[in-house]
Amino acid sequence: MSISISIGSDHAGFELKKQIIDYLKNKSFIVIDKGCFSEERADYPDFAHHTAESVNRKESEFGILMCGSGNGINMTANKHKGIRAALCWTSEIAAMARQHNDANVLVLPARYITISEALKCVDVFLSEKFEGGRHQERIEKIDLL
C-alpha cells in the first residue's frame, strides 16, 4: 500500500513543490496537491490550511509545505490541533522532527534550501519513525488548549 502525502505551497514554493511532487510520484507515493498551482502571487495560509486539514482528516498520512522562508506556512499549519509541523532545512533536523516530535508535516524554506537537500529532508522525514517513550509525554502536552 502506498503512503499518501498532501503537499502545498505559496508562489515562492511552487517550483520546489513541483519537483518534490515528481520525485514522490516516481517513488510510488500518492500525492495530493493542495495548491498553489502557479507562480502567481498566492497567500500561504490558504494552502497550509488545506494541507493541515487533509492530514487531520486522514486523507493523507503526512503533509509537506513550503513557502519562501517556511516560517509563515509553518506557523499557520501549527494552528491546527493535531498538526505537528516542523520547519526543516537539513535532513538531520527532519530526522529529529520525526523521531522526537512525531511531526506529521514537513515544512521546507523554499528560498533557502537546495533541491538536493530538500529531497534528503523528504526521504528522511518519510522513512524515520517516532521513538515514543519519553517523547510521547511531551507530545501529549502540545495540544492542551
Active-site pick, 36, 67, 88, 121: 67
Quote the pTM value. 0.96
> Residue 145: its pLDDT value, please?
58
The catalytic residue among 80, 88, 100, 121 is 100
Q: Give the list of residues 6+ apart from residue 73 with CB closer than 8 angstroms, or none.
A: 8, 9, 10, 13, 44, 45, 47, 48, 65, 66, 67, 107
pLDDT, average across residues 130-144: 88
Q: Are 120 and 91 in contact (CB under 8 A)?
A: yes
Please report the domains of the chain, with CATH numbers, ordered by start residue.
4-140 (3.40.1400.10)
**pLDDT recorded at residue 1:** 56
Clarify whether 100 is annotated catalytic.
yes
pLDDT digits (tens, 9 = 90+) for 82-129: 999 999 999 999 999 999 999 999 999 999 999 999 999 999 999 999
